[in-house]
Structure 1
């Protein structure tokens, strides 16, 4: 699956003269996905790339990260593509789709579609899939993200998410929260965040007990 990401990167780089291609590498002390640790509380290394064609109004990209699911080490590969349009000076909307696949003996994989709105440094998205983590269950996930710059380098950020099994009672809903501070230094970005989960902690995640407990997470990324 890593080869797939490399192939996408090669295609995107061919078109670099017509749009903007960016790549980043990151190290996180705990890989939290929608509030749940997909690395079993251990560090993870990640590679991301994105392709933005502002004049055409569309974008695409992908990321790869090591994970540990069902007590087995593996790799997560996620690819996405979408369109974005501005309908006011500070407002924009977007529509897109993404596909996530995991290596390992269980072969978890699922597609998602999403829609979003952005206003200045605040964004909201809602995702839908009919087969979350290949268990045949439809899931809705809504998130709200925001950030606030204090200086040219320092900023604060926050996230709130709601995951719900479509058509199931409210006790199958789960909230996740994340808040922290970050500093941007040239091409490097460092963040410290606190994350927690409330509600049905293990809704369709093949993770170890305690993977959704409160945690502090440090991340360091370098973009070029």
Structure 2
């Protein structure tokens, strides 16, 4: 899968059409990934970039964040590439691949493929990872994301996700299913974007899913973030 990700990214970079490049820097009070804290319930700093080729439908990007795993402080790196096609003014579909790894002796490296549909502000995606966090089993993850403008620069947003782990979970005496929810309020004035949200998770524990989370992180948390885009 990693070779597929690299091949897609190289193909995108070779596309001759003029690219649009954007980026952002974000401070977040708690880095939550699919309901799990990857920063040990502590703040994290992140940088991200996106490259789009509007005339072709191809896109690529990446992100880096400090994290705190069971082995201590580390850095997460993520790259992705995909293709999106608009069907009409409100509806589009996409597909792509992405690759994640962590610094340190245990990289937790894994790749996953995804497909999705967007209708206005509603985005639904389905992911499949054959070796989730390099733990030796596959996972399916489905998510829905939505946002709605309020008055002025204010908006509300919500996320719902559901994960199914393959393989044997008897050693953990736990479910193979995991769900996460997030909802919040945002305030956007270019180039700034400020959010406050509530995050919660239920089902299989982090250790049963292979997450590199530090021990004893909370499943419920308020999350505050400030992002600067360019």
Query: Structure 1-normalised TM-score?
Result: 0.90
1:208 to 2:214 alignment: yes
Q: Select which of 170, 183, 186 maps to 1:182.
A: 186
**Number of positions where the alignment pairs a residue of Structure 1 with one of Structure 2:** 214
Report how far residue 16 of structure 1 moved: 11
**Could you tell me whether the CA contact under 8 Å between 1:146 and 1:157 is conserved in 2?**
yes
Tell me the residue number matched to 1:57: 57
SS in structure 2 at match of 1:136: coil
Tell me the residue number matched to 1:102: 102
Q: Distance in 2 between matches of 1:89 and 1:186?
A: 24
Q: Distance in 2 between matches of 1:62 and 1:129?
A: 18
Tell me the residue number matched to 2:93: 93
Closer/same/farther in 2, CA of residues 209 and 72 from structure 1, 3 Å limit: closer
Tell me the residue number matched to 2:176: 172
Query: Once the two structures are superposed, what CA deviation does each residue of 1:56-111 show, in whole Å capped at 9, x if it has no partner?
Result: 01100000000011141100000000000011221000000000010012111000
Tell me the residue number matched to 1:193: 197
Report how far residue 118 of structure 1 moved: 0.1
1:72-151 mapped onto 2 (5 Å cutoff): 72-151=72-151
**Could you tell me whether the CA contact under 8 Å between 1:35 and 1:212 is conserved in 2?**
no
Q: Distance in 1 between matches of 2:224 and 2:61?
A: 24
Q: Distance in 2 between matches of 1:157 and 1:201?
A: 26
Tell me the residue number matched to 2:229: 223
* Gap regions ≥5 residues in structure 1: 1-7
